Amino acid sequence: MEDIIVRYVSRFILPFVQLYGLYIVLHGHLSPGGGFSGGAIIGASMILYALSFNLAEGSKKLSHDVSSILESTGALIFAGMGLISILLGANFLANGAAGFPLGTPGNLFSGGSIAIITFGVGIKVASTMATLFYSLIEEEHSHEHH
Amino acid sequence: MNFSQHLPALIVVVPLLFAFVMPLLARWRKQWCVPVTLGAIIFSFAAALQMAFQVMSTGPFSYYMGDWPPPWGIELGIDYLAAFAALTINGVGLLIIWFGSKDLLHELKPEVLGWYYTLYLLLMASMVGIVITNDIFNMFVFLEICAIASCGIISIKESRDCIEAAFKYLVLSVLGSGAFLLAVALLYMVTGHLNFTFMAEALPEAMVLYPNNLLVAMGLLVVGLGVKAALFPLHVWLPDAHSSAPSPSSAVLSALVIKVYAVAMIRLLYLVFPRELLGIAPVMEMILWMSTLAIIIGSMFAIVQDDIKKMLAYSSIAQIGYVFLGVGLMSESALVGGILHIFNHATMKSMLFLAAGAFIYGTGARKLSELKGIGHTMPIPTIAFCIGAFSMVGIPITSGFISKWYLALGALDVGRPFFTAVILISSLLNGIYYLPIVVNAFFSKPEEAVPAPKQLPREMLVPLALLSFGVILFGVYPSLILGIVYRAAQLLLGL
């Protein structure tokens, strides 16, 4: 699809969309939203980019390979934080009980492992959205060639 | 740091973790996929074994996720039933994927092989999660993972039949999940708890205030889990799904996945709902009649099938009926028989499906008429198939006899000999469709000259041999497993 209006508008709003998504992910332990909602916004911004420019341009920014690697990484961060709690001598996924610094409630740097887990979830959801999009598109392309 | 105290969490987390490592391995280190998958399931099996020993020596114990005690946090409760089911799932699951590591090579495209292991590990983790969790919402989450993963391992073959069957399964399974979720909401509304123990304490009082609420919740739970467990009138998705999938998928779906929902239902009906509620609505009586119909009609459908995997799938409908028969009779022996049948059917049905997979691998034959004389060309899978068939019929020294024996005793205990007759009749029906295959395999000649079958690799023969050894072993020495089953039944009945 070649449409100059769509391209210009999306080029203009994309940074704001991504920044907003990042904001929601990073404030997951403080405000409504969190890893899933923020990750979905970031993932949607990547889909918007690939739709308004084209698939080749989108793949240059975030290829299918990279997005599926990020997908695994996000999930591994989550599970890894749980295992770190066990290594610290508490139960799986323990937070304060395992000795993660909890900080002052309400500050950006607080909440111990929750912030890191939310970040992992954000990566996972954003890259899953992109991966699903690529999988659907590539399926469509491979059918056209048949 | 005491490592073994974390096993209840690790038994779920380790397969889950490696499920996510698998796509990375499939990209760069393809040859590591199989050993890593096997390693993760071996770990879970060892953990289940350790937990079973612990629960037998010191009694049930629980694990608080994130050190948050219930009712705030999620509690994993290891009682006899959970330890028994976790052991069954991991033991049988390990042998199935070991067989699958070679069989899948010819059934799947190479680029999706890595994803199969991801789905398989997710399935194992979610099944273990369902049986050990003590929190109803956590159970729902695992039910969803289990539903998605089991649809995935069917549709991954990408043939028309598989996709159609998987879609049908997905729609019905999601309906079941929806019913379950609605029931969770209704229960939470009247009790204010999601933890089974707390819910069970709050329910007798809530039952007086909101009896209709609870009846609806119970109906939704029985239907939701019944659809997933393929209890008779809700079984329509099963034959297609289990027969079209790749053989290791059929084996794991028939042997383990439908049983897990039965375990969930046993736990909810016996440990959460108060006995008086079961008096208001005849739920147990309904389960009893549904399972009777399942046993008879499932076997009858199986008789007319010509496709070996379809026949095994219909036989699963009949066999899940035995499990629910044990649940519905509410006597100690019957419950022991029902729970024991979860394990026995898991071993024999996975063996039968894997043997069928071996026939398909070797000769490409799926029709029963093409299997004449197969005993001479492929002896080991045929012998395994025979042992499985004998066990299905319930011939002594096989494990199938033991669970039918206890079910029959249980029916007599509560003074309902009718159900003993049902078990006898269904054994005869099983004989009608299993024994001709056995006879034809050894004593009749193929109609036309057939080419020599492909040689089976060792990875496929050893699991078959181990499973058939297991069926005989637990038929001759049932006490190896009966101890934990007895305690599970006594705990459930409050004896």
Q: pLDDT class for A143, splitting at 50, 70, 90?
A: low
Name which of A69, A82, A92 is nearest B24 (Cβ-Cβ): A69
Residue A107 is predicted with a pLDDT of 86
pLDDT at B361 over 80: yes
Read off the pLDDT band of B259 (50, 70, 90).
Answer: very high
Residue A7 has pLDDT above 80, yes or no: yes
Q: Looking at this protein, which amino acid is placed at residue B405?
A: W
A66: Cβ contacts below 8 Å, ≥ 6 apart? none
List pLDDT tens digits, range A9-33.
Answer: 998 999 999 999 999 999 988 888 8
pLDDT tier at B461, thresholds 50, 70, 90: very high
Q: How many domains does chain A have?
A: 1
Does A142 have pLDDT greater than 90? Answer: no
Q: Are B397 and B476 in contact (CB under 8 A)?
A: yes
Is residue B107 included in any domain, yes or no?
A: no
Residues sharing a CB contact under 8 Å with residue B395, sequence separation 6 or more, in sequence order? B401
State yes or no: pLDDT of A145 exceeds 70: no
- ipTM attached to this prediction: 0.90
A96-120: average pLDDT: 87
Per CB distance under 8 Å, which residues of B are interface residues toward A?
1, 6, 9-10, 13, 16-17, 20-21, 23-24, 27, 63-67
In a domain, B321, yes or no: yes
* Chain B residues with CB-CB distance to A98 below 8 A: 67
Looking at the domain assignment, is residue B91 inside a domain? no
Instruction: Give how far A24 is from chain B: nearest CA, Å.
Output: 24
Are A21 and A33 contacting, i.e. CB atoms less than 8 angstroms apart? Answer: no
pLDDT tens for each residue of A74-104: 999 999 999 999 998 888 888 888 888 888 8
Let me know if residue B333 belongs to a domain.
Answer: yes
Q: Does a structural domain hold residue B286? A: no
Question: Could you read off the pLDDT of B420-440 as tens digits, one per residue?
Answer: 999 999 999 999 989 988 898
pTM for this model (two decimals):
0.94
State which residues form the domain around B311.
291-495
CB pair distance less than 8 Å for B27 and A65 = yes
Residue B379 within a domain: yes
- pLDDT, one tens digit per residue, over B274-323 is 888 887 888 889 999 999 999 999 999 999 998 999 999 999 999 999 99
For residue B67, what pLDDT is reported?
A: 87
What is the pLDDT at residue A103? 85
H/E stretch holding A144 reads helix A113-145
- B74 φψ region: left (φ > 0), alpha (ψ -120 to 50), beta (else): beta
Return the residue of B nearest to A89 by Cα: B1
Question: What distance in Å separates residue B117's CA from the closest CA in chain A?
Answer: 14
Q: A85: nearest CA in chain B?
A: B66
Residue B204 domain flag: no
Longest dimension (CA), chain B: 73
Find, among B359, B343, B349, the residue nearest to B387 by Cα. Answer: B349
pLDDT band at B81 (very low <50, low <70, confident <90, very high): very high
Subunit contact B66:A93, Cβ cutoff 8 A: yes
HSE-CB for B425 with a 13 A CA cutoff: 16
> What is the C-alpha end-to-end distance of chain A, expressed in Å?
22
Strand-strand pairing, B75-78 and B61-64: antiparallel
Instruction: Tell me the nearest-neighbour CA distance from A44 into chain B, angstroms.
Output: 23
Range of the domain at A23: 4-145
C-alpha distance from A105 to closest chain B C-alpha (Å): 19
For an interface test with A, the pick among B3, B6, B62 (most A C-beta atoms closer than 10 Å) comes out as B6
Domain count, chain B: 1
Flag whether B157 is in a domain.
no
Answer whether residue A134 shows pLDDT above 90.
no
Question: Residue A128 above 70 pLDDT?
Answer: yes
